[in-house]
A and B are shown apart, each in its own frame.
Chain A
Amino acid sequence: DAMVIQNPRYQVTQFGKPVTLSCSQTLNHNVMYWYQQKSSQAPKLLFHYYDKDFNNEADTPDNFQSRRPNTSFCFLDIRSPGLGDAAMYLCATSRIQGRGDTEAFFGQGTRLTVV
């Protein structure tokens, strides 16, 4: 009964080759977040969707894009992965209804390796 599902768990991609990571949720939450986490570092927010509204963090490189075709799915596209983009990518959801929520639910993450 996984609630936030990320596929694949492990992804190997070639330097410069576009790659897409996916996230789906069964919680019907209206907010979906993408975080990048490098080894021994904190999860870093890349961007999030509040319903269909996209919110990009100021320091997120243009190389990272996202799509949310419907409530359940959200994708992270890395247009030209570099070696520095190797990391764990975490998807999370929360429910915001006129006020903030108290908990974000995380998927198990996709570990991206760039070769």
Chain B
Amino acid sequence: GQSLEQPSEVTAVEGAIVQINCTYQTSGFYGLSWYQQHDGGAPTFLSYNALDGLEETGRFSSFLSRSDSYGYLLLQELQMKDSASYFCAVWNSGAGSYQLTFGKGTKLSVIP
């Protein structure tokens, strides 16, 4: 089976930097993605890592270490609109198909 672990809640101050960690256990690992979801909305794609290292997209960066089965999402210059749930999700392959499995999510609250 698969399991993903991430903190359930994080609170940070506007303008600060926050890191959300994710550890995973899965077979057929292909890549790690991060999704943002606001209350009542659909998950929206933030980033994807297939190889070790850091990927940067504007204020968001994501890191992967395949040997440690670990990744993180880094949010810089936090804004109030960043208050949302953040999910790490693993792509794994098997039986000729690919599936995306989500962690339980981290609820980020940005405070003034």
Q: Is the CB of B97 within 8 A of A96?
A: yes
CB-CB contacts below 8 Å: B64-95 with A: 87, 91, 93, 95
Question: What's the dominant secondary structure at chain B's contact region?
Answer: strand
B100 to chain A: which residues have CB within 8 Å? 33, 45, 92, 94, 104
Q: Is the CB of A94 within 8 A of B98?
A: yes
Contact size range, A: 20 to 34
Given contacts A31-B97, A96-B97, contact A109 B48 (CB under 8 A): no
B19 to chain A: which residues have CB within 8 Å? none
Contact size range, B: 20 to 34
Q: Which of B42, B50, B99 contacts A107 (CB 8 A)?
A: B42
Q: Is A102 an interface residue (CB 8 A)?
A: yes
Select the stretch in A11-19, A48-56, A61-69, A76-84 that faces chain B. Answer: A48-56
Q: Footprint of B on A, CB under 8 Å?
A: 31, 33, 35, 40-45, 48, 50, 53, 55, 90, 92, 94, 96, 100-109
Q: Footprint of A on B, CB under 8 Å?
A: 30-31, 33, 41-45, 48, 50, 87, 91, 93, 95-105, 107
